[in-house]
Structure 1
Amino acid sequence: MTESFAQYNFQPFIQTALKKIGFKQPTPVQQRLIPLISKGKNVVGQAETGSGKTHAFLLPIVNTLDPKVQGVQAVITTPSRELAYQIYEAAKQLLESQAKLIVHNYVGGTDKKRQIEKLGHLQPQLVIGTPGRVHDLIKEHALDLHRVHYFVVDEADMTLDMGFLKDVDAIASVMPEQLQIMVFSATIPPKLQPFLRKYLSTPEIVKISNKTVISPTIKNWLLSTKGKSRNELIYKLLTMGEPYLALVFANTKTRVDELTDFLRSQGLRVAKLHGDLTPRERKQTMRAIQNLDYQFVVATDLAARGIDIKGISLVINDEIPRELEFFVHRVGRTGRNGLDGTAITLYSPADDAQITELEKLGIAFQPKVFRDGELVDTYQRDRRIHRHKQQESLDPKLRGLVKKEQKKRKPGYRKKIRRAISQEEQRKRKLERRNRH
């Protein structure tokens, strides 16, 4: 039986908001998490990007916020400003008809003094923000958390990687003991375990894996650089078709700058996204991308973790990410909502080990090569291994003949060897037919 949001008995204003947003059926992660969170369980959730986990925690939290209580009842932290803005916008959609329920967004790069002044007059029921700014407001005694019921740590592994886990720890330490904590993460690295043990008592661990590692709507291609310039190859890939919106991933900020400068020098209108941009620059760039002022975007992995850039039809990996789990996040930026997408990964022989590890994770690549200005199918990347296995499966006598044929001989001798192989195969087939009778 198909599940619907009606079974959760959310308040009427939430049901109305869901209809307006166009949400009809809960995703698998929502089906697993909403009942647990509604029952007051501490949760550790592992889910892929685009799984719907944001609404999995927002819906049950918003459903229980009390407009009569003028104080913070829920805090949600996330490591990047873009992610905080996205959760904030999702929360505002749900609270559109509830003027008495207030949600505020607190991130770095905004006017902290003004935020402190406003908090002195009115405390919101729901707080969403980056760990550093939320912690700053607590230290200034501006944010009062003594009535908090819910604490959500979103993208916990990214929070750890970016050095914000100390701030999250400090935030949790000033909250009431009777607290429901929800931690969401693509992976659970060992360095995250002490925090989980410190604050989460017997949590429900929910891991939702996609049925396929990469959506079947995505063509996942592998292109050998063969010693050619990556800049030139990427320019060729971007201009050989007409992508609606193309996203190129690089591993470092320096490489993003270098590649952006090159593509711009070739006449392309290119946006870039990385951590060194000022908050104003990042916000302006995101708005311009959403408005389709740019057809091409070059970014670090920050853009792969939850930033919702709609309409991406092409993803190019300038390099394989250092953390292999980021590969799925990158590729998952395209082929969304049932639309077709293409992901192209550039690689060199030095990347063979990483490609093999990705294949072990269940990621299938289709090798491609440039031919007459087009990308066409080519041989398997590990063709030598396959050839070796194929030869091992041959009859020992035939294998010996094949080895002889591989040696450098006169053309007439090669014909003789091929003829001998053919005759040997015919002889074996005759024997098999006789044995059947």
Structure 2
Amino acid sequence: MKNGFTEFGLQPFLISALKEINFEQPTPVQEKLIPVIEAGRSVIGQSQTGSGKTHTFLLPILNHVDPEKQQVQVVITTPSRELAYQIHDAARQLVKFSDQEIEIGNYVGGTDKKRQIEKLNHRQPQVVIGTPGRVWDLIKSQALDVHLAAQFVVDEADMTLDMGFLNEVDKIAASLPKSLQMMVFSATIPKSLNVFLKKYMVNPVVEEIPVQSIISPTIENWLISTKSKGKNSVIHQLLTIGEPYLVLVFCNTKERADELTEYLKNQGLKVAKVHGGVPPRERKRVMKEIHNLTFQFVVATDLAARGIDIEGVSMVINDGIPDDLDFFIHRVGRTGRNGMSGVAITLYEPGEEAKISEIEKLGVKFQPKAIKNGEIVDSYDRNRRVTRVKDHHKLDPTMVGLVKKKKRKVKPGYKRQIRKAIELKDQRDRRVAKHQEFLKTKRQKIKQNRAKRNSGEH
């Protein structure tokens, strides 16, 4: 798309807002789905973190909001408070240059419900953004009037299902007009989500953006084996080697995040902690400080991986490999944004090679690394032993027999003979291989010299 976002017929205030944040070219999901949403079609967008889906639905929605109508025109739900704040901030930034005020309400759990109801009794926002539980509470109490809303967005639908909010989303959808344009965005589409989709969506446009297109080529994926070393000390070294701009360390559990945060603080580092067990008010304060770059290091769980968008993350560290490998993509997607370089470091322990192989099937190419003398250096391929065993099987039948005999209980003299025979065979094979390589190089030089002579004759 040569002319970028201007091809979508967006109002001037939106184009000005996009210029302010240096958004010049739409992402693949934006390029495919913005025109579809503009045309009034319901959509299911399957895309990962970092694909630009938030602006995919915000731009066409805000392009058609009528500031003259003081009524709810759009409802957007998302399963985490952090993501609700993120979408709210993005929406406010987009309407910044609008001549007429477009009011955007943000309603999440853990905030003052009574105050929200009092405000809604005086004035209804045009755009509602919030978590399913709080939005449904406000509708149920008749404080929030959504019966005229024309558009409904369910963001992070799979996470909504996982966190048990689908029932509330169902009730919200049932409160909206039947002639509704519905937009569902999700990293994955579980079978258990299909019943809900079929209930409210008729012939939607389904667009899937492959995982491989989301892993930015500017991200280096490093793989470090912790072996006998404790993960805490390895992570401390990674955080203190060099000068990383902003580092996110992802843990699989809240308990592990608490443990690691406490350890790093005891080492003298200033660390922020974000997970579902942190009280809402404190989490909001911490998130504000993170965005203001008060912290250089952030320890978080996957709730944060799906719900937080922090600019300038230079490094991501996977303290543990997630059981759901989709989360690996979400974690890595926190860095390497907008063409910037980034490093994603995955720590693994003996016995986790199978998980690493599964990640590699997603298109991730790991660079083996190690920490030596306070520096991160290249390391060996973890599969080197497997390769060596495979080569062992290429021995001739006589040597295979000797190897098998070696495993039997035989006299010491026989063991020495077998071991010596194997060593001699290995030495002979190496000499033959070396000689063949020498002959190959010599033949290549002869060919090159002939080619030079022939070109000189012509």
**TM-score normalised to the size of structure 1?**
0.91
Whole-Å separation in 2 of the counterparts to 1:381 and 1:250? 23
Deviation at 1:26, TM superposition (A): 1.5
Q: 1:179/1:114 Cα in 2 relative to 1: closer, same or farther (>3 Å)?
A: same
What is the aligned partner in structure 1 of residue 8 from structure 2? 8
1:105-124 alpha-carbon deviations (Å, 9 max, x no partner)? 11111111111111111111
**Does residue 421 of the first structure (1) align with residue 429 of the second (2)?**
yes
For the 8 Å contact 2:51–2:214, the answer to whether it is kept is no
Deviation at 1:13, TM superposition (A): 2.4
Aligned pairs for 1:55-94 within 5 A: 55-94=55-94
Q: 1:78/1:423 Cα in 2 relative to 1: closer, same or farther (>3 Å)?
A: closer
Aligned pairs for 1:338-357 within 5 A: 338-357=339-358
For the 8 Å contact 1:119–1:143, the answer to whether it is kept is yes
1:338-368 alpha-carbon deviations (Å, 9 max, x no partner)? 2221111111123222112111222221222
What is the aligned partner in structure 2 of residue 35 from structure 1? 35
What is the aligned partner in structure 2 of residue 169 from structure 1? 170
Q: 1:206/1:402 Cα in 2 relative to 1: closer, same or farther (>3 Å)?
A: farther
Deviation at 1:389, TM superposition (A): 3.5
Q: 1:39/1:105 Cα in 2 relative to 1: closer, same or farther (>3 Å)?
A: same
What is the aligned partner in structure 1 of residue 231 from structure 2? 230
For the 8 Å contact 2:212–2:363, the answer to whether it is kept is no
**Does residue 140 of the first structure (1) align with residue 141 of the second (2)?**
yes
Q: 1:12/1:314 Cα in 2 relative to 1: closer, same or farther (>3 Å)?
A: closer
Whole-Å separation in 1 of the counterparts to 2:402 and 2:19? 67
Q: 1:71/1:349 Cα in 2 relative to 1: closer, same or farther (>3 Å)?
A: same
Deviation at 1:138, TM superposition (A): 0.5
Whole-Å separation in 2 of the counterparts to 1:321 and 1:412? 47
**Does residue 119 of the first structure (1) align with residue 127 of the second (2)?**
no
For the 8 Å contact 1:401–1:421, the answer to whether it is kept is no
What is the aligned partner in structure 1 of residue 277 from structure 2? 276
Deviation at 1:76, TM superposition (A): 0.5
* 3-state SS of 1:101 partner: coil
**Does residue 312 of the first structure (1) align with residue 320 of the second (2)?**
no
* 3-state SS of 1:349 partner: coil
Identity %: 58
Whole-Å separation in 2 of the counterparts to 1:391 and 1:421? 12
For the 8 Å contact 1:398–1:421, the answer to whether it is kept is no
What is the aligned partner in structure 1 of residue 383 from structure 2? 382
Deviation at 1:47, TM superposition (A): 1.2
Deviation at 1:99, TM superposition (A): 3.3
Deviation at 1:95, TM superposition (A): 1.6
Whole-Å separation in 2 of the counterparts to 1:428 and 1:48? 50
Structure 2 counterpart of 1:417, which letter? K
Structure of greater Rg? 2
1:218-238 alpha-carbon deviations (Å, 9 max, x no partner)? 221111111221111111221
Whole-Å separation in 1 of the counterparts to 2:423 and 2:311? 59
Whole-Å separation in 2 of the counterparts to 1:368 and 1:260? 24
Q: 1:419/1:236 Cα in 2 relative to 1: closer, same or farther (>3 Å)?
A: closer
Deviation at 1:377, TM superposition (A): 2.0
Whole-Å separation in 1 of the counterparts to 2:355 and 2:78? 29
Q: 1:372/1:409 Cα in 2 relative to 1: closer, same or farther (>3 Å)?
A: farther
Deviation at 1:103, TM superposition (A): 1.2
Whole-Å separation in 1 of the counterparts to 2:6 and 2:438? 69
**Does residue 153 of the first structure (1) align with residue 154 of the second (2)?**
yes
Give the number of equivalent residue pairs: 432
What is the aligned partner in structure 2 of residue 22 from structure 1? 22
For the 8 Å contact 1:3–1:26, the answer to whether it is kept is no
* 3-state SS of 1:305 partner: helix
* 3-state SS of 1:114 partner: helix
Which has the larger displacement, 100-109 or 205-214? 205-214
* 3-state SS of 2:337 partner: coil
Whole-Å separation in 1 of the counterparts to 2:304 and 2:333? 11
Structure 2 counterpart of 1:273, which letter? V
Q: Which runs of 5+ in 1 are unaligned?
A: none
For the 8 Å contact 2:72–2:146, the answer to whether it is kept is yes
Whole-Å separation in 1 of the counterparts to 2:271 and 2:435? 65
For the 8 Å contact 1:71–1:147, the answer to whether it is kept is yes
Q: 1:55/1:402 Cα in 2 relative to 1: closer, same or farther (>3 Å)?
A: farther
